[in-house]
Homo-oligomer: A and B are copies of this chain.
Amino acid sequence: MPSDFLSPQTSIVDSHPSIPSYADILAAAARIAPHARHTPVMTCQTLDERFGARLFFKCENLQKVGAFKFRGAANAVFSLSEEEAARGVVTHSSGNHAAALALAARLRGVPAYIVMPSNSPAVKQAAVSGYGGKITLCEPTLAAREQSAGEIIARTGAVLIHPYNDVRIIAGQGTAALELIDEVPDLDLILVPVGGGGLLSGTLIAARLAPRPGPQVIGCEPAAADDAYRSWRAGRIIPVEHPDTIADGLRTSLGDQTFPIIHALVQQIVLAGEPQIRAALRLVMERMKLVVEPSAVVPIAALLEGTPRIAGQRVGVILSGGNVELSKLPLE
């Protein structure tokens, strides 16, 4: 049978045998269930009226550590063998993944080594140490981070857990959409913010590789960090060079684990401007009374720009996180 006749589901699995399957998402859900929060789904009449649609918000800002990142980190940490876990885990990140990995490791009772640039805000360092992470500060360059992580691995044998370019992380992030699809029947569409692509990849697998494929999935990205959009159009990874967006969680570029999944399965990637992100932040905080971070509202920002059109549809939105400095809210 010529490959043209293969469904995308088959072709993606065939050409990338290492990518997580729908069964991996189910396994991740069972693995993290004792540790992660089953977050609520909320609705908002004002937003429904504004967009002429029914919106269902999966509130990952209410997840442990305030972001979906805990799902992937918990799945990765609890996937390790006893012997691997005992040596600890390591990552270089200054964001939600660092806090999530620290907490997941603490829950398993193993060390988490977090390499952070020396210019990380004190509040982020405090969050990581508050969850028991062992911080190593380094120069704020990628080379310095990788060198510090390498030294820790050489010394301790700790397992590197990348923030998104890791099948265990991708499978864990997919559990948010799994819960959403389970709770809200007949969704037409799910909107997901995209940075490194872990959440989008996991959502795509949960929605499109299910035995009975579910809603379409659209990735939503800041126009000022549009590497996923350009990579999706070009058919190859085009890293972002100077991301300049208030959506600080989405400044990263797709990885070689996330790009093929996204390229094969996503319906579309849409862009949102900075004023729309600020307006969406105000809208969600004022109307839904939820504290969210700028990255989380990029799907609403895209809707404010008019793309995608969702009138008459039932649309899931993953509100990815709520870690924002309240005294400096970037509001329109």
Measured CB to CB, the residues of A under 8 A from B are 40, 42, 59, 61-62, 66, 282, 285-286, 288-292, 322, 326-327, 329, 331
State the Cβ distance, A293 to closest chain B Cβ, in Å.
10
Closest to A61 in B: B289
The answer to whether B322 touches A327, judged by C-beta atoms less than 8 angstroms apart, is no
Cα-based distance from A322 to B285 in the complex (angstroms) = 9
Cα-based distance from A292 to B291 in the complex (angstroms) = 10
User: How many subunits of this chain does the assembly comprise?
Assistant: 2
Cα-based distance from A206 to B322 in the complex (angstroms) = 34
Cα-based distance from A292 to B326 in the complex (angstroms) = 12
Closest to A123 in B: B286
Closest to A66 in B: B289
Cα-based distance from A331 to B289 in the complex (angstroms) = 17
Closest to A319 in B: B289
Contact of A291 among B59, B290, B327, B331 (CB under 8 A): B290
Cα-based distance from A290 to B285 in the complex (angstroms) = 8
State the Cβ distance, A62 to closest chain B Cβ, in Å.
6
Closest to A130 in B: B46
The answer to whether A327 touches B329, judged by C-beta atoms less than 8 angstroms apart, is yes
CB-CB under 8 A from A288, the residues of chain B are 62
The answer to whether B326 touches A331, judged by C-beta atoms less than 8 angstroms apart, is yes
Cα-based distance from A40 to B290 in the complex (angstroms) = 13
A-B contact pairs, 9 of them (CB 8 A): A40-B40, A42-B62, A61-B289, A62-B289, A66-B289, A286-B326, A290-B291, A291-B291, A327-B331
CB-CB under 8 A from A289, the residues of chain B are 59, 61-62, 66, 290-292, 322
Contact of A326 among B40, B66, B329 (CB under 8 A): B329
Which 3 residue pairs across A and B have the least CB separation, nearest first? Answer: A289-B322, A289-B291, A61-B289
Cα-based distance from A299 to B314 in the complex (angstroms) = 39
CB-CB under 8 A from A61, the residues of chain B are 289
Closest to A67 in B: B289
State the Cβ distance, A275 to closest chain B Cβ, in Å.
15
Closest to A46 in B: B130
State the Cβ distance, A41 to closest chain B Cβ, in Å.
11
Most buried by B among A288, A289, A322, A329: A289
State the Cβ distance, A320 to closest chain B Cβ, in Å.
12
